[in-house]
Chain A
Amino acid sequence: MAITYTSGEQVEVYRFSIPATVLIPLTAVFLQAFLPLRFRFFSIFDLPLLVVIGFATARRSPLAGLLTGSVIGILQDALTHHPIGLYGISKTVVGFGASSLGIKLDVEHAGARFLLTIFFYVVHEVVYFLIARGLVGLHMEWSWPHEFLSGVANAVLGVFVFMLLDRVKQRT
């Protein structure tokens, strides 16, 4: 079992099989596009973001995290009518941050995952807001209560998504 050493603590590093690496993000993007039409409340969730956080914290490699984030984000961008890169940049930052933090923190417990997801959801929204408003010129409204509540909702869903990811991840 490969072990990485960080600040004197031993942290396990996981990997995902190639089918899981390809199919899980695709399924997440597909469900994100399909479910809000049938269940309107689902638009509050960001399933691809949860997959980015889940992959990044499990792999604990900043390079893999930022690349996963950018690919999933660009895929998500391609389905919208906005310029490609809005979600790409936001999820690149989240992927890098989550994997970097995953090295330093124990993210195996549900409570830690819950808080981590809220934090990175807000980071994602802040980056998206800044780029959409500053670079693309979209009119956007920022509401802290809305973002926080969405973050909590995503964190609750995230706990279950991470449990599913735990079943397919493999020790290196």
Chain B
Amino acid sequence: MKRIDDIVKDDFRELERIADDNAISVPDALEDKVRDALLSTAIRNERRRGNRAGKGLAVLAPFAVAAALGLVIWTRPPKLQDTFDDPALAYAQLEETFTYISNQISRGLDIADEAAPAINKPAETLKKTLKK
């Protein structure tokens, strides 16, 4: 059987003579075997490429997580300081605030009270009409 090195050295006429020689038989299913070999090589190459990409991402992923955590910590708002050191002063502020809130609520209730006659008027008119 000829070796590839020998086939390469042969000239074109010698190769044509070999091709025309019917005594030399081609192994059965050679074409299928060649196709299978090419396919498995292609698959192997594709897997190698995927593994390389996966390894690259695996190396980068911890850095991405560290960067994300760093960003979260960096943007976290600072701890607040009490405005007052003295609880009595804080209490005075709180009392003033609640007084203000209660004034606003009273104001709202007063306005609602003023509106009550106007709200009741249609009901009274209706009552008078129904009585007739």
Indicate, yes or no, whether A interacts with B. Answer: no
Residues on A close to B: CB < 8 A?
Answer: none
